Amino acid sequence: MRKLSVILPAVILMAACTSSKTNVTGKSGIDYESYRKAAMMDGAAAPLQIDGSDDFTGESRFNSKSAYGDAVITVGAKKFSLGRAAGNKEMGVFQASIDKAYRTAKKTYNPAGFTYAMSPAGAVNPLSDMEVQCILSQDSADNVGQKTCDLFFKSLKTEYAVATGTDAAL
């Protein structure tokens, strides 16, 4: 009786799987031609005309000595260790700390074009080490760049230590 309870479901399962009359090889794929025709009618697939008549880069009002037209310079870069087993939680705390440090430096010196770049630098765990770059416009970098970046990195170190409850140097 026990053999029958094992064999019977196996036979039913095999019969159900093999009795499928679906012809997989005979089915056609999706016809994309109707989508192509619709896109051509909407003008989305119109060919680009490259004749130079639409070149408007020389007419930009930001092309010289404005806050966003100026060259940018990486004034400083530091690597911060978040711990060997750093994950999303530590990364969230670090992001909040870097935002506070950015606001502190921005309020203090108000440099034009001040921003930062952050990239993972850990070898095994990418989030274990983070490299942070302090970036300013060329004019601001000449005037208050070093002061701004020093304050930014010092504030970041302090904010992260306070947020994590550690007083160890990053």
- Domains of the chain, first to last: 77-164 (3.30.70)
SS3 112: coil
How big, in percent rounded to 5, are the helix, strand and coil portions of the chain?
A: 50, 15, 35
28-55 confidence digits (pLDDT tens): 556 656 656 655 554 444 444 444 444 4
- Asked if the model's pLDDT at residue 60 lies above 60, the reply is no
Q: Percentage of the chain with pLDDT > 70?
A: 62
Q: What is the pLDDT of residue 70?
A: 72
Q: What is the pLDDT of residue 141?
A: 87
**Average pLDDT, rounded, for the chain:** 76
